[in-house]
């Protein structure tokens, strides 16, 4: 089962409403994405903590329905 770009975006938005999100479908297979996410929520946090926040927003889908999501998180 694959996740659509819009679903990924709305899940992230739910947890971080201020986020500016750019998602790319890298292989055109709805299974390998990259996401650039800019949010205030990341400020002062380590990269590991930032990525964990995104994984948490995806509610356990990462590594399951969502096979690959390359992350680039930025403080806003």
55 binds other proteins (CB under 8 A): yes
DSSP-assigned beta bridge partners for residue 2: none
Integer angstrom CA distances of residue 29 from 16, 46, 62, 68: 26, 31, 16, 11
60 binds other proteins (CB under 8 A): yes
The site that binds other proteins (CB under 8 A) totals a number of residues, namely: 12
Q: Among 6, 28, 44, 48, indicate the residue that binds other proteins (CB under 8 A).
A: 48
- Which range touches other proteins (CB under 8 A), out of 3-11, 15-23, 37-45, 61-69? 61-69
How far is residue 69's CA from residue 39's CA, in Å, rounded to a whole number?
18
* Residue with Cβ nearer other proteins (4 or 59): 59
Contact call for residues 61 and 25 (beta carbons, < 8 A): no
């Amino acid at each position: 089962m694959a996740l659509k770009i819009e679903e990924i975006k709305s899940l992230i938005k739910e947890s971080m409403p201020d986020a500016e999100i750019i998602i790319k479908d890298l292989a055109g297979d709805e299974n390998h994405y990259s996401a650039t996410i800019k949010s205030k929520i990341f400020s002062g946090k380590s990269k590991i903590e930032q990525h964990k926040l995104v994984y948490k927003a995806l509610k356990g889908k990462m590594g399951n329905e969502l096979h690959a999501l390359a992350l680039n998180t930025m403080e806003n």
